[in-house]
Structure 1
Amino acid sequence: MTTVANADPSTADYDLLVIGGGINGTGIARDAAGRGLRVLLCERGDLAEFTSSSSTKLIHGGLRYLEQYAFRLVREALAERERLLRMAPHIIWPLRFVLPHDTGLRPAWLLRLGLFLYDHLARLRTLPGSSGVDLRRSALGAPLQAHLTKGFVYSDCWVEDSRLVVLNAMDAHARGAVIRTRTGVELAHRSAGAWSAGLRDGVTGRRWEVRARAIVNAAGPWVGETLGVTLGIDSRAAVRLIKGSHIVVKALYPGEHAYILQQPDQRIVFAIPFERAFTLIGTTDVPHEGPPGAVTISTEETRYLCDAINRSFATRIGPGDVVWSYSGVRPLYNDAATEASAVTRDYVLDLDAPAGQAPALSVFGGKITTYRRLAEHALARLAPSFPDLGPAWTGGATLPGGDMANADFEAFRAAFAHAVPFLPAETADRLARAYGTQAHGIVGAARCLADLGERFEGGLTAAEVDHLVRAEWARTADDVLWRRSKLGLRTSPDGVARLEAYLARHATSGADSTAPA
């Protein structure tokens, strides 16, 4: 199994060097490549390895941000919710949320007012609006404790967050961008109107230098370090690191709806259907003072999330019920808010562009829902350096796999299942959801399950693994089982070892993996 590499970045100059392979970095790389810029994106780990795969996995306006009077952010996010749903209907889909009213917390009139604003701030709305619900008589109230007698229902969307990142990288690559995973930018300096940047391949150790007319610092939790150390820029903008953690337990209730639960500390916690047999619970908001890399949930955070469920659900849970947890560090713009949960989720673009010198744009904050608009705003800030920059274009463009008629996923899912009758129904459904129209390419000319090669746990086959290596920059078992999918929930340690052995036999080396075929 081989990949076809893009042009070797050691032999070419670029218009734009993007540092960071999370949602903001890949979104900016995609937008820029589509406007005609020569783009190089470097990510020192895997795509979406840190913050962008550790979200609550929602495309939403942010109902609770209304309490912070963040009306512009909510309005923009609600508009983006509609666009993203059309761009990627396979990995983004509508989700109904049940908001129980707890008489000891926010009054019912305030919740009703917030939902009225939420409904009407969305200029375009294809999702159902909010309504009241009698939890004593509705099935939606069945999993809840008896004291929760009334509530509200409203709409937002679910997203496969790490897959959204990968799809943006794939589209950027298709439009000419060079994507280098496991490649760090060690040091950069301005010279003769351009940036010279030293790169290091984290797999082979090879070092080389590239030139770029501008740099985008989308390094997430490392944005401050990259700005000050790697780029040598002194900026007043500062990042505030906030850790958010989630737990996963066996399904607490039947159905495809989610719950949004008010807490005594004025925060909210979500309970969301997850991977068919589980419930995802999160998130926490705690200050993070340590290194911004891989982080884990604390005992206190686990207890907080269990307590949140136990205040509202009839079924009680404890730390022993947690089957998986994950944590991420959010790089929020430091607005001097006292409480971590009150720090703005809006984004700030910090441009350093001394006269006659190459610019550097640093991205602070942001949320998955507004990544596309953030990318447009980033390119607008850089436009003076690129007189021939093409117009904005991403608002109506689908992402890979999303090009299905009328953005109708249900019709596509049925047609795909009909075309692959030899696949178990669960596997066919998962492939349709994960890859959309590109699922046909994974199955190819196969006419039976054996044609897809070696079988791994959770319905994974060699044909799918080969696709992930060839087209989606996957290199390790974690890349496959936790970021390109969540099959890690259904894979034993022996199954992981077998997959790792397969990858070792078939995957290309880091030096050959600058881009998918």
Structure 2
Amino acid sequence: MVPSSSERENVRALRQRPRAQVLVIGGGINGVGTFRDLALQGVDVALVERGDYCQGASGASSHMIHGGIRYLENGEFRLVKESVQERNGLLKIAPHYVKPLKTTIPIFSTVSGVLNAPLRFLTHKQQGKPKERGAFLIKLGLSLYDSFSRDGGSVPRHQFQGRKKALQTLPKLNSGIKYAATYFDASVHNPERLTLDVLRDGEQAGLSAEESRARASNYLAVNSISADGVELVDQLTGDSFSFTPDLIVNTTGAWVDETNAAMGAASSFMGGTKGSHIVLEHPELLAACAGREIFFEHTDGRIVLIYPMGDRVLVGTTDVDADMREDAVCTEEEIDYFFDLIGHVFPSIEVAREQIVYSFSGVRPLPKHDATQPGFVSRDYRIERADRSVAGRQIPVLSLVGGKWTTFRALSEHLTNDVLALLGKQRKVSTAKLPIGGGVDFPATEAAVERWILDHTSEQIDAERALVLLTRYGSRANQVIEYLEAGEDKVLDSTHELSVREVAYIASHEQVGHLVDVLIRRTSLAFRGLVTEELLAELASALRGPLDWNEERVDFEIRHAEFVLDHYHRVQVQSLVA
């Protein structure tokens, strides 16, 4: 176990009242979304996650909120329509994290794929050598996509350009293109923090409702079901206790079957695929994208993407069958694939491994798909029900199979409605138009952002720091700034993006279990390749007091962070001192 670990407040709350109407297992976006929705309906709900929130597939996404134009080829029209509607909704209720994303598709032919597309549609298999989709098919798909987007003009309609105009706009594009199609989707620049915002909304909803409670803990795993209830094990201390719910919701993604097996009833619902990404510090590639995502079909028929995120460029993704016995990591072969796809679209731009600042990989929670090729496996979701004997009672267990980031709110609503029906309760609140966390009263224009920064700039917090806080917390930055200004503070020497009191705020309000949680999921420092030996030491020291760590624990956390960054993200931490 982790050295010098004491019981956390959120674990203590679950142990002191070890029962609830509903236990949600899994702290990815779908589990957290369901937790929030249930809490808003006045349900006594608890959530447990064996790792950190948004640590699995939810934290390994392409950072897109999109309708899934390529799912049209699979015939998943319901999913595409729902996804587009949810995309439009998230632009309104989570504007602090979800932003419009201008997307361009380079097109190399006019009618290619017209004969193959119906066969792919009918069989979900590639017939012979891949045939790229030509302008005719892409135009047809985008027109249908636009028809799903009629929601008061949330995003503009698509546009087509010929080769000459396309190369004037994006001069580094492969000169062999014939057309370029441009449309809008959306991005989520910090999916981990959006997940935390949704979680906190749920916790606060539980506090405000007299008849309900909403309690959640990370690093708390389901070990088994016994005569006393569901056995939960604290992953930091090794302590265990029994918890008794009236109903269980299993939202553990690719691990749904393993979770069901731990509860004594094995299932075989899942057949996830692994997707990897790399993050590049590459000014030339960044400039070549001209602020837009480049979304296209690679030579093998796989849909891939290149797009800027701040001063970095995200490249992805792969789609290969996952071996759940192995850690999901980005391989050398996948990196070669990414470099090849960059060369396909931007042939004059060279990329080297030294320009990779971060990589990540996750297993998509897809259904078992047998002979169906990974790219054609349905991205839709379904809910499976079974009953378990818990503490001498038969209780329902709902297992979520599938699901994607964009549709988490609608999916959570679906799961919540099923739970409410089983509990004999009625829905009280719709989440469709309910702002999420820091999206409440978030400044809607650049001018409004500038005014907000001016209003929150002080002797202690300069304009640059205020913008960092607004970007990280949305309008909840108001509360953070009040906390920062309530005591003596100091910006860290190793990064201007954190201060000692902000670290204390994160530790006390956001359930930090490990040092690496702050680097990867409470900030974007790791994602942008900004972790140094000095930052690890200074951040661990800042966490020491708020989390009651001794010297042994501080040393352990630094070594643990170095291992996680190296093993899972190909980051070898260096010192600022040459």
Task: State TM-score, norm by structure 2.
Answer: 0.81
Residue 512 of structure 1 corresponds to which residue in structure 2? none
Does the 8 Å contact 2:491/2:497 carry over to 1? no
Task: Note if 1:185 corresponds to 2:222.
Answer: yes
1:314-339 Cα distance to aligned partner (Å, 9 max, x none): 31224343221111111211133521
1:137-190 Cα distance to aligned partner (Å, 9 max, x none): 35532221221242110001111211121111111111121111111111125x
Instruction: Write the distance in 2 (CA, Å) between the matches of 1:7 and 1:181.
Output: 12
Tell me the CA shift for residue 475 of structure 1: 3.3
Does the 8 Å contact 1:443/1:452 carry over to 2? no
- The structure-2 alpha-carbon separation of the partners of 1:363 and 1:5, relative to structure 1 and needing over 3 Å to count, comes to closer
Task: Note if 1:435 corresponds to 2:473.
Answer: yes
Does the 8 Å contact 2:105/2:181 carry over to 1? yes
Counterpart pick for 2:250 among 198, 207, 217: 217
Q: 1:48-447, aligned counterparts within 5 Å? A: 48-103=54-109, 105-124=132-151, 125-138=153-166, 139-159=168-188, 160-176=190-206, 177-188=214-225, 196-227=229-260, 229-235=261-267, 237-251=268-282, 252-254=285-287, 255-274=290-309, 276-291=310-325, 294-313=327-346, 314-353=348-387, 357-404=394-441, 408=444, 410-422=446-458, 423=461, 425-444=463-482
SS at match of 1:486: coil
Tell me the CA shift for residue 261 of structure 1: 2.1
1:1-41 Cα distance to aligned partner (Å, 9 max, x none): x9965872223220001111101110110011111111111
SS at match of 1:198: strand
Residue 503 of structure 1 corresponds to which residue in structure 2? 543
Letter of the 1:369 counterpart = T
1:272-307 Cα distance to aligned partner (Å, 9 max, x none): 112x22110001001111426x42111111111110
Q: Which range is displaced more, 383-392 or 21-30? A: 383-392
- The structure-2 alpha-carbon separation of the partners of 1:143 and 1:476, relative to structure 1 and needing over 3 Å to count, comes to farther
Give structure 1 stretches of 5+ with no counterpart: 510-517
Instruction: Write the distance in 1 (CA, Å) between the matches of 2:489 and 2:355.
Output: 39
Letter of the 1:8 counterpart = A
Q: 1:454-473, aligned counterparts within 5 Å? A: 454-473=492-511
- The structure-2 alpha-carbon separation of the partners of 1:144 and 1:215, relative to structure 1 and needing over 3 Å to count, comes to same
Residue 514 of structure 1 corresponds to which residue in structure 2? none
Q: Could you say what the CA RMSD is over the residues aligned between the two structures, in angstroms?
A: 2.5
Does the 8 Å contact 2:273/2:365 carry over to 1? yes
SS at match of 1:272: strand
Instruction: Write the distance in 2 (CA, Å) between the matches of 1:203 and 1:268.
Output: 40
Tell me the CA shift for residue 95 of structure 1: 0.7
Q: When the two structures are aligned, how many residues end up with a matched partner?
A: 499
Q: Which range is displaced more, 240-249 or 423-432? A: 423-432
Letter of the 2:308 counterpart = P
Does the 8 Å contact 2:46/2:216 carry over to 1? yes
Instruction: Write the distance in 2 (CA, Å) between the matches of 1:438 and 1:71.
Output: 37
Tell me the CA shift for residue 460 of structure 1: 1.4
Does the 8 Å contact 1:351/1:361 carry over to 2? yes
- The structure-2 alpha-carbon separation of the partners of 1:451 and 1:503, relative to structure 1 and needing over 3 Å to count, comes to closer
Residue 30 of structure 1 corresponds to which residue in structure 2? 36
Answer 1 or 2: higher relative contact order, Cα 8 Å, separation at least 6: 1
Instruction: Write the distance in 2 (CA, Å) between the matches of 1:230 and 1:446.
Output: 43
Does the 8 Å contact 1:148/1:312 carry over to 2? no
- The structure-2 alpha-carbon separation of the partners of 1:67 and 1:118, relative to structure 1 and needing over 3 Å to count, comes to same
Instruction: Write the distance in 2 (CA, Å) between the matches of 1:64 and 1:121.
Output: 14
1:23-76 Cα distance to aligned partner (Å, 9 max, x none): 111011001111111111111111111211100010000011111111000000
- The structure-2 alpha-carbon separation of the partners of 1:508 and 1:450, relative to structure 1 and needing over 3 Å to count, comes to closer
- The structure-2 alpha-carbon separation of the partners of 1:399 and 1:409, relative to structure 1 and needing over 3 Å to count, comes to farther
Letter of the 2:133 counterpart = R
Does the 8 Å contact 1:20/1:218 carry over to 2? yes
Letter of the 1:10 counterpart = R
Instruction: Write the distance in 1 (CA, Å) between the matches of 2:14 and 2:340.
Output: 51
- The structure-2 alpha-carbon separation of the partners of 1:380 and 1:240, relative to structure 1 and needing over 3 Å to count, comes to same
Instruction: Write the distance in 1 (CA, Å) between the matches of 2:181 and 2:417.
Output: 40
Instruction: Write the distance in 2 (CA, Å) between the matches of 1:393 and 1:248.
Output: 37
Task: State TM-score, norm by structure 1.
Answer: 0.90
1:428-468 Cα distance to aligned partner (Å, 9 max, x none): 32321221111122222767997455454152112322222
- The structure-2 alpha-carbon separation of the partners of 1:6 and 1:27, relative to structure 1 and needing over 3 Å to count, comes to same
Residue 45 of structure 2 corresponds to which residue in structure 1? 39
Instruction: Write the distance in 2 (CA, Å) between the matches of 1:358 and 1:277.
Output: 50
Give structure 2 stretches of 5+ with no counterpart: 1-6, 113-131, 207-213, 550-578
Instruction: Write the distance in 2 (CA, Å) between the matches of 1:449 and 1:141.
Output: 50
Instruction: Write the distance in 2 (CA, Å) between the matches of 1:302 and 1:40.
Output: 40
Instruction: Write the distance in 2 (CA, Å) between the matches of 1:412 and 1:508.
Output: 40
Instruction: Write the distance in 2 (CA, Å) between the matches of 1:449 and 1:340.
Output: 53
Does the 8 Å contact 2:10/2:216 carry over to 1? no
1:360-397 Cα distance to aligned partner (Å, 9 max, x none): 00111110001111111112222332113433521111
Does the 8 Å contact 2:26/2:250 carry over to 1? yes
Percent identical: 31
Counterpart pick for 1:487 among 522, 525, 540: 525
SS at match of 2:138: helix
Letter of the 1:385 counterpart = L
Residue 515 of structure 1 corresponds to which residue in structure 2? none
